[in-house]
């Protein structure tokens, strides 16, 4: 009787609580998996109103943070959905084609496009630098990322019409490899802020890289690696600046990828050992030297005495 009296009665979650929980699941979905999460979430909630409101709030944030790329109608090009290209909540500028894409965030499609207004575009002086950098970044991405896309946006000083004033670009590089039929998805996102400082004739370069991977065959393993960089170069002509910036980005990203590969090669010797205690319940040492012969679940659990 005492135990029954101590049990807390079940309480129904409020509308707002359900919505916030639903948003959390949507926002934390791995790259390319938000629609799978949404489908299951909709079935679990059994409340169309809660789901719709959560989706309307979560999808725009998710799409911008993952910098998804959408194809514009009539093969007009691609647009990267990001906070750097955002004009309004559903409008995103593609500076390469001087078009504005109207986006349905929940459906993750571009419904239509319109020509960008003059006030939405950069001046001819800024555009000279932007186009030169865009061409160099496109060349680098095509060589390094088979499914990569890029964009160069002016986020400060787009109306500058000549030397004497600072301005700033943001270079976005995003690539995804989705293979849900093989139980794995991955994404690469890098954002580089290029601050053109006219007085000091220096370009201050700051980069943020994020690599995500999700493997879910007979288990659930997720990687979320982040790295920041800082560099600089001198203020030169548009073409020379573009080459220098692209080389700096190439150097840091290549170096980081190499570091990740080294880390992966050491997983069996280091990381996997730290996942479990030295002696399992069987009191038998795990054969770490043969780690690669085991799957992540069944065979390893059988060896450790944890299987059914």
pLDDT per residue over 58-112, tens digit each? 999 999 999 999 999 987 789 999 999 999 999 999 999 999 999 999 999 999 9
**In this structure, what CATH number is given to the domain that contains residue 251?**
3.90.1150.210
pLDDT per residue over 161-210, tens digit each? 999 999 999 999 999 999 999 899 999 999 999 999 999 999 999 999 99
For 131, what's the count of Cα atoms within 13 Å in the CB-facing half-sphere? 10
Q: How much is the pLDDT for 262?
A: 87
Question: Whole-number mean pLDDT of the chain?
Answer: 88
Same domain, 81 and 131: no
CA neighbor of 219 nearest in space, from 298, 143, 151, 130: 298
Same domain, 160 and 171: yes
- Does any domain span residue 280? no
- Does any domain span residue 300? no
Same domain, 80 and 114: yes
- For residues 102 and 104, give the distance between their C-alpha atoms in angstroms, rounded to a whole number: 7
Q: Determine the structural domain holding residue 208 and report its residue range.
A: 122-274
- For residues 272 and 265, give the distance between their C-alpha atoms in angstroms, rounded to a whole number: 11
- Does any domain span residue 250? yes
- Does any domain span residue 96? yes
Q: How much is the pLDDT for 271?
A: 64
Same domain, 56 and 181: no
Same domain, 149 and 248: yes
257 has a pLDDT exceeding 80: yes
- Does any domain span residue 248? yes
- For residues 216 and 178, give the distance between their C-alpha atoms in angstroms, rounded to a whole number: 13
**In this structure, what CATH number is given to the domain that contains residue 49?**
3.30.1140.60
Same domain, 113 and 134: no
Q: How much is the pLDDT for 119?
A: 94
296 has a pLDDT exceeding 80: no
pTM of the model: 0.83
Count: domains in the chain? 3
Residue 52, CA distances (Å) to 19, 90, 301 in order = 9, 17, 41
């Amino acid at each position: 009787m005492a135990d029954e009296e101590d049990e807390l009665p079940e309480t129904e979650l409020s509308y707002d609580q359900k919505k916030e929980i639903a948003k959390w699941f949507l926002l934390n979905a791995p790259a390319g998996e938000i629609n799978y999460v949404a489908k299951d979430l909709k079935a679990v909630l059994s409340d169309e109103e809660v789901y719709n409101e959560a989706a309307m709030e979560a999808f725009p944030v998710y799409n911008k943070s993952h910098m998804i790329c959408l194809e514009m109608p009539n093969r007009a090009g691609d647009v990267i959905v990001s906070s750097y290209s955002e004009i309004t909540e559903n409008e995103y500028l593609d500076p390469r084609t001087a078009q504005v894409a109207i986006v349905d965030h929940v459906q993750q499609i571009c419904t239509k496009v319109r020509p960008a207004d003059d006030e939405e575009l950069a001046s001819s002086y800024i555009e000279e630098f932007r186009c030169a950098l865009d061409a160099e970044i496109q060349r680098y991405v095509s060589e390094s990322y088979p499914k990569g896309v890029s964009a160069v946006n002016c986020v400060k000083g787009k109306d500058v019409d000549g030397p004497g004033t600072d301005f700033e670009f943001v270079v976005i590089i995003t690539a995804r490899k989705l293979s849900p039929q093989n139980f794995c998805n991955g994404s690469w996102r890098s954002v580089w802020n290029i601050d053109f400082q006219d007085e000091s004739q220096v370009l201050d370069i700051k980069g943020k890289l994020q690599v995500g991977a999700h493997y879910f065959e007979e288990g659930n393993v997720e990687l979320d690696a982040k790295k920041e960089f800082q560099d600089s170069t001198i203020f030169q002509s548009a073409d020379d600046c573009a080459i220098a910036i692209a080389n700096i980005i190439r150097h840091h990203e290549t170096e980081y990828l190499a570091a990740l590969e080294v880390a992966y090669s050491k997983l069996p010797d280091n990381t996997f050992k730290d996942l479990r205690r030295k002696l399992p319940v069987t009191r038998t040492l795990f054969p770490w030297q043969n780690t690669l012969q085991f799957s992540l679940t069944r065979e390893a659990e059988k060896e450790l005495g944890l299987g059914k």
